[in-house]
């Protein structure tokens, strides 16, 4: 198995480019099933999650061609309505096949994805939305079975305990594009990735208004056609690189991202006193003296502070003087990285849904275990600030959502190497 060896780092310096957004590309790939014509997608990141999704699409009947890196041409002439467990279990986001299958096939059988280390990942809102679209939904043998023969647009309130749902919104919008009548979706997710999906659907001929707002109005059409679409930049990857610059006190230009996609995140870093220069499509992190200031952050649906940048900010806050509080409102269990940071010397306690971080810890390298995608990134960032070598195991989590992570960072001076666990000192290996 691959591991990362990361050594305490001086300032990173240079430009780092942002790739396509995983969380936009996944539902967008699923949306290609909505038409029997060819959809050409650009800026698709090369990630293991994309490979899982493409594998499922091929199983469903899509033809997938990659004419050049980052570009996929997908044609779904004859497809089945079944997404089986052995494929779906590899990736929770495969739940967003429900919407396109319901729309195009008027029926779907999609295995319910398993649990996840960051907390329960229910799909009750997806099901509620489909029922509101007059679908019959049944759960049996680990599958969601949907009969959409009588599908009909209508009013839907899609909010749950934590507010809106990202993939739930994607599913219901996709299902509604080909449903007779008008669907008025309230409490829709406003994440830029949902906006990107809606923009792509409009290019396919869908009628959607209110894009980017919590109220989407979708007027069903008879057919969708092929289109060309370039996937939006990955704001979470960009934010992770911003923190890499900040934690090493470097001069790093994160290129290919519109700062407005990261409003709440940049606001917090500004509050912390991080000097930055913002351009139309870049964020430049500048070196600073002394300590950054502490922050009090609560994760919320967009435009609030994103949960997917919570762990990384926590890593940075281990290096500021004073107490920072990070409260996780989307996935209250999303602190699996904390015990690993503690092993590196971080002073963090968990109080209910909050991590209380006492900063200015002297971190030292240690063997640590990645538990999920963003936790992996947080451990690597902390390792840049640590003295000595940190060995990070289970980095397959990172490969799900960061493209060429170590190559991009190494190119601006990071001491990070992908090795095999066989290269690790024996006494550091997990059992």
Query: Binding residues for ligand EPU, per CB under 6 A?
Result: 23, 26, 93, 120-126, 160-162, 165-168, 307-308, 330-331, 373-374, 401
Q: Is 22 annotated as a binding residue?
A: yes
Distance (Å) of CA 31 to CA 103, 132, 402? 10, 21, 22
Residue 187 a catalytic site member: no
Helix (H, G, I), strand (E, B) or coil at 341: helix
Cβ proximity to ligand EPU: between 243 and 386 the closer is: 243
Secondary structure of the chain: what % helix, strand, coil (to 5)?
Answer: 35, 25, 40
CB of 276 to ligand EPU, least distance (A): 23
Nearer CB in complex with ligand EPU: 122/256? 122
How far is residue 168 CA from its own chain's centroid?
Answer: 14
The two structure tokens encoding residue 425: 């000192």
Residues forming beta bridges with residue 110, ordered by sequence position: 83, 144
Smallest gap, in angstroms, from Cβ of residue 147 to ligand EPU? 20
Maximum pairwise Cα distance, the chain? 64
Rounded distance, CA 5 to CA 15, Å?
22
Closest to ligand EPU by CB, 64 or 162: 162
Residue 33 marked in a binding site: no
Nearer to ligand EPU, 187 or 368 (CB): 187
Structure tokens at 203: 């290019």
Was 122 annotated as part of a binding site? yes
Q: Is 343 annotated as a binding residue?
A: no
Q: Are 168 and 126 in contact (CB under 8 A)?
A: yes
Q: What distance in Å separates the CA atoms of residue 55 and residue 217, rounded to the nearest whole number?
A: 32
- Crossing angle, helix 166-177 and helix 22-31, to 10 degrees? 20
Short-list 253, 224, 220, 221, CA closest to 238: 253
Say if residues 227 and 39 touch (Cβ distance below 8 Å).
Answer: yes
Which CB, 92 or 104, lies closer to ligand EPU? 92
Kindly tell me which of 5 and 92 has the beta carbon lying closer to ligand EPU.
92
Pairing state of beta strands 107-111 and 39-42? unpaired
Cis status, amide bond into 303, omega within 30 of 0:
yes
Query: In whole angstroms, how close is the CB of 318 to ligand EPU at the nearest point?
Result: 21
Kindly state the smallest distance separating residue 273's Cβ from ligand EPU, in Å: 27
Shortest Cβ 162–ligand EPU spacing (Å): 4
Give Cα separations from 339 to 153, 342, 382, 424 (angstroms). 47, 5, 13, 21
Q: Which residue has the tokens 């033809």?
A: 63
Nearest distance in Å: CB 53, ligand EPU = 10
Identify which of residues 166 and 195 has a Cβ nearer to ligand EPU in the complex: 166
Tokens encoding 417: 């190497």
Q: What is the DSSP letter of 113?
A: P
Per the annotation, does 92 bind a ligand? yes
Q: Is 134 annotated as a binding residue?
A: no
Active-site option among 96, 116, 135, 198: 116
Three-state DSSP at 150 gives coil
CB of 190 to ligand EPU, least distance (A): 11
Q: How many other CB atoms are found less than 10 A from the CB of residue 67?
A: 9
Rounded alpha-carbon distances, angstroms, from residue 156 to 130, 132, 200, 402: 9, 6, 22, 34
| Binding residue ranges for phosphoenolpyruvate | 22-23
Annotated binding site for UDP-N-acetyl-alpha-D-glucosamine: 92, 121-125, 308, 330
Q: Which residues define the annotated binding site?
A: 22-23, 92, 121-125, 308, 330
Catalytic residues: 116
């Amino acid at each position: 198995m691959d591991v990362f060896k990361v050594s305490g780092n001086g300032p990173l310096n240079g430009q780092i480019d942002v790739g396509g957004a995983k969380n936009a590309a996944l539902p967008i790939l699923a949306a290609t099933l909505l038409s029997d014509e060819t959809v050409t997608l650009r800026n698709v990141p090369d990630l293991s999650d994309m490979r899982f999704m493409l594998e499922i699409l091929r199983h469903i009947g899509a033809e997938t061609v990659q004419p050049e890196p980052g570009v996929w041409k997908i044609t779904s002439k004859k497809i089945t309505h079944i997404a089986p467990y052995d494929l779906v279990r590899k990736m929770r986001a495969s739940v967003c096949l429900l919407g396109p299958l319901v729309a195009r096939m008027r029926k779907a059988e999609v295995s319910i994805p398993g649990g996840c280390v960051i907390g329960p990942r229910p799909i009750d809102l997806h099901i509620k939305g489909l029922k509101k679209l007059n679908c019959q939904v049944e759960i049996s043998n680990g599958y969601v079975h949907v009969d959409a023969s009588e599908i009909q647009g209508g009013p839907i309130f899609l909010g749950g305990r934590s507010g809106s749902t990202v993939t739930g919104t994607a599913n219901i919008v996709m299902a509604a594009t080909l449903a007779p009548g008008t669907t008025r979706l309230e409490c829709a997710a406003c994440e830029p990735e949902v906006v990107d999906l809606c923009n792509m659907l409009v290019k396919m001929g869908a009628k959607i208004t209110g894009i980017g707002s919590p109220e989407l109005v979708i007027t069903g059409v008879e057919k969708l056609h092929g289109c060309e679409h370039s996937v939006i930049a990955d704001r979470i990857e960009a934010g992770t690189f911003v923190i890499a610059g900040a934690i090493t006190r470097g001069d790093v230009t994160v290129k290919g991202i519109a700062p407005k996609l990261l409003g709440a995140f940049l606001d917090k870093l500004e509050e912390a006193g991080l000097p930055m220069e913002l351009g139309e499509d870049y964020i430049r992190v500048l070196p600073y003296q002394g300590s950054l200031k502490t922050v009090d952050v609560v994760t919320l649906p967009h435009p609030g502070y994103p949960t997917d940048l919570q762990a990384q900010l926590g890593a940075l806050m281990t290096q500021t003087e004073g107490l920072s509080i990070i409260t996780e409102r989307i996935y209250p269990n999303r602190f699996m990285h904390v015990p690993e940071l503690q092993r590196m010397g971080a002073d963090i306690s968990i109080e209910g849904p909050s991590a209380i971080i006492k900063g200015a810890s002297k971190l030292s390298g240690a063997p640590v275990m990645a538990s999920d995608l963003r936790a992996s990134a947080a451990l690597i960032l902390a390792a840049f600030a640590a003295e000595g070598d940190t060995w990070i195991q289970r980095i397959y989590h990172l490969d799900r959502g960061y493209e060429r992570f170590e190559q991009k960072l190494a190119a601006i001076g990071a001491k990070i190497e992908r090795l095999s666990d066989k290269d690790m000192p024996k006494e550091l290996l997990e059992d």
